[in-house]
Amino acid sequence: MSRPLKTVIIGGGHRSLIYAELAKLKPDEMEIVGVADPNEFRRNQIAEYFSIPAEHVFTSAEELAAVPKFADAAINGTMDHIHVETSIPLLKAGYDILLEKPFAVNEEEMRKLVECAEENGRKIMVCFVLRYAPFYQMIKETIVLGEIGEIINIQTVEHVSYHHMSTSHIRGKWRNEEECHASMLLAKCCHDIDIMMWLMGSDDPVRVSSFGSLMQFRPENAPENSGTRCLVDCPLADTCLYSAKRLYIDHPDRWEFYVWDKLEDKENATIEDKINLLKTSPYGICAYKSDNNVVDHQSIAVQFRSGATGTHNMIGGAAVPQRKIHIIGTKGEISGTLESGKFTVSLIDPRPNCEHLDREVDTQISDDTHGGGDIKLVEDFVNYARDDVMSLSCTSIKDSVKGHLTVFRADKSMKNNGQVEEIIL
């Protein structure tokens, strides 16, 4: 039996801990032996949970990388804009990396990290977890088997729910591109663009155009008589759709890793603690008067080398969170919704009356946040790092370049009124 992959955690946030949970579920596959995080409470909490010795607890990736190598790999779940600067010391120190998406926030950094991994002979697997959702895996298998023929067009749609939009992209960590260094398309939809590229296989994207804007969440659209802070000076706290009281105080246990992160050192934070936090926190500001500057809707159109086309539409503030997909090939088509776990394969069938033959596929998804893919992704990383085995879903850093570059060029196009941008891999 292979030994467990000795792994360190870099950035002890929500996603890192989800991936690291494999060490608890299957200790024969992964062992957490170190942690680096600037937050003292968080790193000590993680050290205690995984029984990490004090000499393997660090404040930064650089500090960890400076000591003699004591593990095989790292889970890097830091914020988007420091993925590259925290990964390079680890690569040079000899660690393979499971790296949260997006792996870079601009093209220059993207190419720098790819080059560093190659120069040091290290593996980086990017956390495009939707590739591991049974829904998308079975769609990929259907395409690979040739059931719908050659792809002519692929359409993906993401409806970002009003509460997710409010929490992450209007008030939260990804609300301001200058601060988080990531666009809405990169932070939220790089999953969807990656899925598009993955399903298109070896057919590379060659050009892209995009339109989008911040249309809804602007000061001029604020409700009449609204204040600037929901729990300080707003008379609409009980009626506004985006009231911090209605979204967070009325659902106090839902936002543990986002809204309440400043209270994580309080063992039993009260409602009063949470109300007081919202009076000064970015999460308590009026959704229409935040300093957010990322788009709330964006559409992109991609042309592939074969002549096939693809589109992606992101709409923020939707009532129902959904990811939809529709793929049309020369022999049939596939359409479905991730949240249902079901898709329909419709094949051209002229026999009865020039109609089509339909087959519904139910992937029977689990209740995790990415359609059943989280733990499968980490197990795949173990197989890749330890045994050099890559599955159909495995996303090496080279595999994810097409999606990242498409996003970077799409955002450039949007800022230039939809000007077509070439994609040069």
pLDDT at 351: 85
Does pLDDT of 79 surpass 60?
yes
Give residue-wise pLDDT tens across range 162-219: 999 999 999 999 999 999 999 999 999 999 999 999 999 999 999 999 999 999 999 9
pTM, full prediction? 0.94
- Three-point CA angle 127, 398, 141, nearest 5°: 65
Mean pLDDT for 268-294 is 95
pLDDT at 225: 95
pLDDT at 276: 96
Give residue-wise pLDDT tens across range 339-371: 999 999 999 998 878 888 899 999 876 655 555
Q: How many residues does the chain have?
A: 425
Tokens of 32: 């957490």
Mean pLDDT for 92-110 is 97
Q: What is the DSSP string of 266-303?
A: -TT--HHHHHHHHTTSGGGB-TTSS---S-SEEEEEEE
Contact 138, 147 (CB under 8 A): no
- Give the C-alpha distances (Å, rounded to integers) separating 392 from 117, 148, 339: 21, 19, 22
pLDDT at 366: 60
pLDDT at 232: 97
Q: What is the DSSP string of 173-186?
A: TTS-HHHH---HHH
Contact 415, 207 (CB under 8 A): no
Q: Where are the beta strands (DSSP E) in 111-182?
A: 124-126, 151-161
Give residue-wise pLDDT tens across range 13-68: 889 999 999 999 999 999 999 999 999 999 999 999 999 999 999 999 999 999 99
pLDDT at 367: 56
pLDDT at 190: 95
* Closest CA relative to residue 3, chosen from 394, 386, 282: 386
Contact 344, 142 (CB under 8 A): no
Tokens of 148: 């719908």
Contact 310, 118 (CB under 8 A): no
* Closest CA relative to residue 278, chosen from 237, 244, 307, 250: 244
Residue 238 CB: number of other CB atoms within 10 A? 11
